[in-house]
Structure 1
């Protein structure tokens, strides 16, 4: 299993190939995002029993993703063609000569009958151990290339997420800066409404109303949690091992706080900030779906 601190994407492709005297081997591995590790193998019948070895090698290196692994094998015609065992043919011919000396009336065999004698024709059997060893080497190489490609793509995703995190922090700072003005504006608007209505409230009742308005508009806790989640996302991006599920959970938490901020918004400026926050969080969430 990969333990690099680099962010790894789940989308990548790799191909390796080797030509040998016994034939040609080709390995292809494709991966896309998936909640869990979902490997699929396509192997030639002659290598079907080798799938558990390749599957185990895959599970040791990858944690998440839908991974399609294809192994193709084409043997050369020269390897498949039977050959004549010249030494065995000479032995059969010598035996026939000896028989004819003893039994002159014995009929000489035809060429086809000679070739059908045990051991005269030999089939060239493929060295399955050599083929499997080559397939394992090619598979490991393809897996290395796939992981490298996932890491390169992951670096781009990490840069994009870091940029969006900085933008989130900027929006949080804007809202924090607006808070004193928001509360003062709420107080002024309440007093203005009372003046228009020509209503006089008991000073204690008026103070209670102002406290209630302030509580509804107070988003300090939401802003603090947004900041904490941003810091945790940044920390996760440099942690070792898979981090996609944890990041996905943090996106849900960020979105929850952004929604609360939006519901508490009482001025246009904070509403715009809340909308921008949700846009940024959604952009990060879409990219995090591809992170291992």
Structure 2
């Protein structure tokens, strides 16, 4: 089954006085880019969640957000002295260097500094966050399963679109092959007429040399190989879609090959109807390539 790279899943949970909210979303990307926002005081949780996502996904820009709150007044937010000192020292060094270079920086605001990761410590009201971390780890696979279910649902719709586009490419390729057969006779007549014109011009010309040149023109305008490669690419694309799984990169490569053959077909056609078919083929291939960008 094909999976889309676009998906979203959310969930909520609770344990004792703690409650939390999950949000997991992804968009297209060339590789797998994981961005996690997990409370720092939940030791070991981020690494475990990152490992689970790495096993379940192969492509996409994935963002995971986890917000944990505590009922009552026991939970509190406090400055992390170590992080604060590090940030302030770095800020002082930057301002000193700017002054040395004759540059004026805008005054720093406390609100900006509070947004630095690790500046604030959230107290859980308990010295042992182990049970909470364990519960979050147990709950996470269900969130991932619902996330993958949406990816597969989007992928099923995407698969239908891709199959239709592959069928269109196959139909246009078949029509192009039929036009090539009819084009051969017209090109042969044109080449014979050109040969007679050259030989009857009264100018000195080597008949064998002229025949060789005309034969070279015929070879350069032959699109049989392009048609054959398009047929082969159609079969390969169809097989990939049947196989499913993380096939996005392979399909993207195939669309590039489709486009290369369509471009060559247009440049060598020397035939109005064949050129029109080649342009239509390019349009369908471009549409397919846009869809392929969504495939994991």
TM bin (shorter chain): 0.7 to 0.9
Rounded Cα–Cα distance in structure 1 between residues aligned with 2:256 and 2:207? 43
In the alignment, which residue of structure 2 is the partner of 1:141?
142
In the alignment, which residue of structure 1 is the partner of 2:152?
151
Q: TM-score, normalised by structure 1?
A: 0.76
Moved more, 123-132 or 172-181: 123-132
Residue 21 of structure 1: how far off its partner (Å) = 3.1
Residue 196 of structure 1: how far off its partner (Å) = 7.0
Q: 1:243-258 to 2 correspondence within 5 Å?
A: 243-258=247-262
Alignment RMSD:
2.5
Alignment counterpart, residue 37 of structure 1, candidates 27, 32, 37: 32
Equivalent pairs counted in the alignment come to 246
Residue 267 of structure 1: how far off its partner (Å) = 0.6
Q: TM-score, normalised by structure 2?
A: 0.75
Contact 2:6–2:26 (Cα < 8 Å) also in 1 = yes
1:80-127 deviation digits (Å, cap 9, x = unpaired): 59xxxxxxxxxxxxxxxxxxxxxxxxxxxxxxxxxxxxxxxxx96376
Contact 1:25–1:135 (Cα < 8 Å) also in 2 = no
In the alignment, which residue of structure 2 is the partner of 1:163?
164
Residue 46 of structure 1: how far off its partner (Å) = 2.5
Rounded Cα–Cα distance in structure 1 between residues aligned with 2:68 and 2:277? 58
Instruction: Please tell me whether residue 199 in structure 1 is matched to residue 201 in structure 2.
Output: yes
CA change 1:76–1:187 in 2 (3 A) is: same
Alignment counterpart, residue 72 of structure 1, candidates 67, 73, 82: 67
Contact 1:16–1:139 (Cα < 8 Å) also in 2 = no
Moved more, 133-142 or 250-259: 133-142
CA change 1:213–1:21 in 2 (3 A) is: same
Rounded Cα–Cα distance in structure 2 between residues aligned with 1:248 and 1:167? 17
* Unmatched 5+ stretches in structure 2: 77-123
Instruction: Please tell me whether residue 57 in structure 1 is matched to residue 61 in structure 2.
Output: no
Rounded Cα–Cα distance in structure 2 between residues aligned with 1:208 and 1:63? 54
Instruction: Please tell me whether residue 184 in structure 1 is matched to residue 185 in structure 2.
Output: yes
CA change 1:79–1:176 in 2 (3 A) is: same
In the alignment, which residue of structure 1 is the partner of 2:11?
16
Rounded Cα–Cα distance in structure 2 between residues aligned with 1:32 and 1:204? 62
Contact 1:219–1:264 (Cα < 8 Å) also in 2 = yes
Residue 291 of structure 1: how far off its partner (Å) = 0.8
* SS in structure 2 of the partner of residue 45 of structure 1: coil
Instruction: Please tell me whether residue 289 in structure 1 is matched to residue 293 in structure 2.
Output: yes
Contact 1:13–1:31 (Cα < 8 Å) also in 2 = yes
Rounded Cα–Cα distance in structure 1 between residues aligned with 2:51 and 2:226? 45
* Unmatched 5+ stretches in structure 1: 1-5, 82-122
Rounded Cα–Cα distance in structure 1 between residues aligned with 2:125 and 2:150? 40
Alignment counterpart, residue 238 of structure 1, candidates 222, 232, 242: 242
Residue 213 of structure 1: how far off its partner (Å) = 3.5
Residue 45 of structure 1: how far off its partner (Å) = 3.1
